[in-house]
Amino acid sequence: MSAKDYLSGRKRRPSMGQEGTRAALYLRISTADQKPDLQFDGLRAYAARAGLDIVQDYCDVGVSGRREGRPQLNGLMAAARNREIDCVLVWKFDRFARSTRHLLAALEEFNHLGVRFVSVQDQIDTDSPMGRAMFTIIGAMAELESSLISERVTAGMRAAETRGKHIGRPAIPRRVITEIETLATSTDLSIRQIQRKIAGQASRGIVGEITKRARAVQPPAL
């Protein structure tokens, strides 16, 4: 495939590979000035050594690794879900995944679909014992990362509370609460109308709570 085809984001015409050997390549380059030749040549050579038939290749051009909107990657995932491929080849993890969490989610989906995943430079093949072990390690690291983030957030909130800082949404001023209660008990305005009357100084949910509470304790009309 020519560099022009890659830079335009086009894919090769699908070929009919044997069941179990149908491989898709995924490549990513950060700018249109870069060329995917190194990645493509390395992946094509690996496929030849492994006896895999390349039926499709996908290349995202000028896309950051952290961006979610990668049309070629989306196309690859769709092909896997449609059972059009048996194996995904990438040059390195960082060419494929945005984060550890994204990598784990993709590997879990490939595992569920029975799709083999190979990262050539990282020497990871999910069909091998070492690859399966790495899959488990990546999952454990993602879980640890999530736990550490949660612990840091909780510790930060406790530290802020100790220093007297308010956690959460700002408190509604008493005068606004009184105004809502007055409107709720003296008019038949809807919650939306009451919120409009107070110029949006409280969310509709808060206005609704105060209105319902005020009207529930309002004495019945004689």
Cα–Cα dist 14/76, whole Å: 12
> Same domain for 130 and 184?
no
Residue 78 confidence (pLDDT) above 70: yes
Task: Say how far apart CA 74 and CA 83 lie, in whole Å.
Answer: 14
Q: What is the pLDDT of residue 108?
A: 87
Q: Which domain holds residue 200?
A: 174-216
* 222 domain-assigned: no
Mean pLDDT of 186-205: 89
Selecting among 8, 15, 30, 203, the annotated active-site residue is 30
Task: State the pLDDT at residue 162.
Answer: 79
- Residue 174 pLDDT greater than 60, yes or no: yes
> In the structure, what pLDDT confidence band is assigned to residue 216 with cuts at 50, 70 and 90?
confident
**Six-digit token string for 162:** 């100790």
Question: Is 30 annotated as catalytic?
Answer: yes
Joined tokens for residue 156: 């930060």
CATH for 119:
3.40.50.1390
13 and 118 in a single domain? The answer is: yes
What are the structure tokens assigned to 196, written together? 């409009």
Residues 154, 218: Cα–Cα separation, whole Å: 40
- Predicted confidence at residue 55, as pLDDT, reads 95
Distance CA(169)–CA(202), nearest Å, equals: 11
pLDDT per position as a tens digit, 175-195? 999 999 999 999 989 999 999
